[in-house]
Amino acid sequence: MIQRARNLGYQKLAVQEIYDFNHPSRSLFESLGFYPTLAREKGKSYTLDLTLPLAQIQPSQFYLSREKLDRICIDFDQQELEPLPVKRMDGKIFFTDGHSRAFKAYQAGLSHIPIYYDRDELNWDFYRYCLQACQERGIFSIADLQNRILSKEDYQTKWLDWCKREARKFDKS
């Protein structure tokens, strides 16, 4: 259903109403990324975004790798950009991966990008920490990474090593 909607060029899908007592349906739709948009008589309407404005998606990392950017080759005229993974937390939508591809889309002048809701279980506390770290550094959209592109070595020490070190603080083992 979702892929067919993408193929037809839809930007959103909507479910008119899911009753509050219908927990299995609510759980299924929410696991796919649908979110409640309007209270109804017995439940709520739900919406699933298939594309979003690039400027509305918060990065969860504050550096990019020059090497990774140089390896990416996307023909935007042929709409080769695969949907990028996002999650919703505390009312914010953020990238869980695909920052380099999103940045290439930004450089190509795309205003909207295809997205999908990442169904992987994340360490929410660590992602909240990363989002806060981005915001403290003035990173609110992919465009804010314009001057934060690093060599392979600097990317390793300033981003990847930072992630490993900080993630240990949130390890639940």
DSSP 93-126: EEESS-HHHHHHHHHTT-SEEEEEE--S---HHH
Element (DSSP H or E) covering residue 95 = strand 92-95
Say yes or no: 111 and 154 in one domain.
Answer: yes
Look at residue 1 in the predicted model and tell me its pLDDT. 82
Say yes or no: 121 and 148 in one domain.
Answer: yes
Flag whether pLDDT at 173 surpasses 60.
Answer: no
pTM (two decimals): 0.85
Say yes or no: 7 and 61 in one domain.
Answer: no
Alpha-carbon dihedral 112, 38, 45, 6, rounded to 10 degrees: -10
The percent of residues above 70 in pLDDT, for the chain, comes to: 98
Say yes or no: 45 and 57 in one domain.
Answer: no
Q: Is residue 173 part of a domain?
A: no
Say yes or no: 138 and 151 in one domain.
Answer: yes
Say yes or no: 23 and 107 in one domain.
Answer: no
Bigger pLDDT: 100 vs 7 = 100
Task: Show the domain range for 138.
Answer: 53-168
Q: In the chain, how many domains are there?
A: 2
- The widest CA-to-CA distance across the chain, in whole angstroms, is 57
Position 142, amino acid = I
For residues 99 and 56, what is the distance between their CA atoms, to the nearest angstrom?
Answer: 14
Say yes or no: 40 and 70 in one domain.
Answer: no
